[in-house]
Amino acid sequence: MGRGGEELSAELSGALQRCLLGGKSGAGAGIDLASLSIADGKICWDLYIDCLVVSADGNLLDALAAAIKVEDDGYVGEFLCSMAALSNTLINKVEIAAYTSSDEQPEVDLSDEEFLKFDTSAVPVIVTLTKVGKHYIVDATSEEESQMSSAVSVSVNRKGHICGLIKRGGTGLDPSVILDMISVAKHVSEQLFDKLDSEISAAEAYERE
């Protein structure tokens, strides 16, 4: 990966982290970090999300956020394919042995037969509105992005709550324009969630066949 690729990777990684983890207090987080805790303050699961970009034709951030929610194990869908994602992530059930000292490291028994499904209900989608002239473009191509004056990426969860907002481009935006873009993003997110739910159901049905 060249220097440009490394910079883009860092930018996308930082943007996804801000959109998924919420504020410092954890408010607005798409991933419940408490669900990864095994023994409070002592042992927890590490969660790594690796995304491989195979085609960079614009709108990468939105596609990566959607890929995190959708799993595909051989099924080729209309919207997204060949991705590892949280919707099919299973966590081994863990039993903790009793321990008496607060400084003592607890012993854990990791089950190979019982698993807990990772909860993705709060994971948001990201809708990026690219401003070209007086118009907003959803799902912009790289050619369209090259003509943008600015772009606003809005992270929205299933309840319609805004989890994060990222602006790109050097041109400033009037607050009324940003509010309008947020309103459009919330409307688009509803359609996107419906599409993702449909893809997940189709993938699960394919696996059962």
DSSP output for 78-90? SS-BS---GGG-E
In the block, tokens 């607050």 appear at: 175
Q: Residue 152 burial by CB count (10 A; 0-12/13-18/19+): exposed, middle or buried? A: buried
Question: Which 3 state secondary structure label does DSSP give 35?
Answer: helix
In the block, tokens 């805004």 appear at: 162
What does the alpha-carbon distance between residue 135 and residue 59 come to, in Å, rounded to a whole number? 16
Q: What per-residue confidence (pLDDT) applies to 207? A: 67
Please list the ranges in the chain whose pLDDT falls under 50: 1-3, 71-84
Q: What per-residue confidence (pLDDT) applies to 186? A: 94
Q: Which amino acid is at 49?
A: I
What does the alpha-carbon distance between residue 159 and residue 200 come to, in Å, rounded to a whole number? 19
In the block, tokens 């999300």 appear at: 49
Residue 60 to residues 11, 53, 100, 149: CA-CA distances in angstroms? 11, 8, 49, 18
Among 33, 201, 62, 15, which residue's Cα sits nearest to residue 122?
33
Q: Which domains does the chain carry?
A: 3-86+124-208 (3.30.230.70)
